Amino acid sequence: MATFTKIASVSVGSGGAATMDFTSIPATFTDLCVKLSGRSARAAQQADNLFITFNSTTTNFTSRLLQGNGTSASSGNYAIRYASLAVDAAGSTASTFSSHEIYIPNYTSANYKSYSADSVSENNATAAQSDLVAGLWSNTAAITTISLLPEVSTWVQYSTATLYGIKNS
């Protein structure tokens, strides 16, 4: 059975924040999991995109995205560091936050690093979105830092993220 251990949490205070960062991640676990509740300050839009960065590197990322909104579904391949397209933004229902889980297996291995993400926006209207992302960071370095950021804007107050280390017993 896998054991989850909380490594760190980030909560955005008043004034917002450009990123939510986890630094000095210990190499004592098998896998990592980030659970995020977030909202972007992106104006006049219902959603923003969620970018992920490992070790302050923004290159060598690819992702496959599957998304749906209750009316239609689509998918695509991207040479970018997407973790979601479903971050609630200023145009969605007030005070709602999107939910995200990002799973990173074998984060210390000498192989390329894969990740998967599951996200859903919250909105009391017809436009809501859910997406799944399979991503690859083509780098063999162990992951020691993770940054989470909205593509266009900043995180609003009360956005939170928690990083867990996972050990297989």
What is the Cα–Cα distance from 72 to 52, expressed in whole angstroms? 26
The residue among 87, 92, 154 whose CA lies nearest residue 119 is 87
Please report the pLDDT score of residue 169 as a whole number: 60
Residue 85: CB atoms within 10 A of its CB come to: 21
Task: Tell me the pTM.
Answer: 0.95
SS (H, E, C) 20-59: EEECCCCCCCCEEEEEEEEEECCCCCCEEEEEEEECCECC
Q: Which residues in the chain land under pLDDT 70?
A: 126, 169
Q: Which residues pair with 2 in a beta bridge?
A: 168
Q: What is the pLDDT of residues 107-123, one digit of tens each?
A: 999 999 999 999 999 88
Please report the pLDDT score of residue 124 as a whole number: 80
Beta carbons of 63 and 152 less than 8 angstroms apart = no
Average pLDDT of the chain to the nearest whole number: 94
Tokens of 51: 């970018």
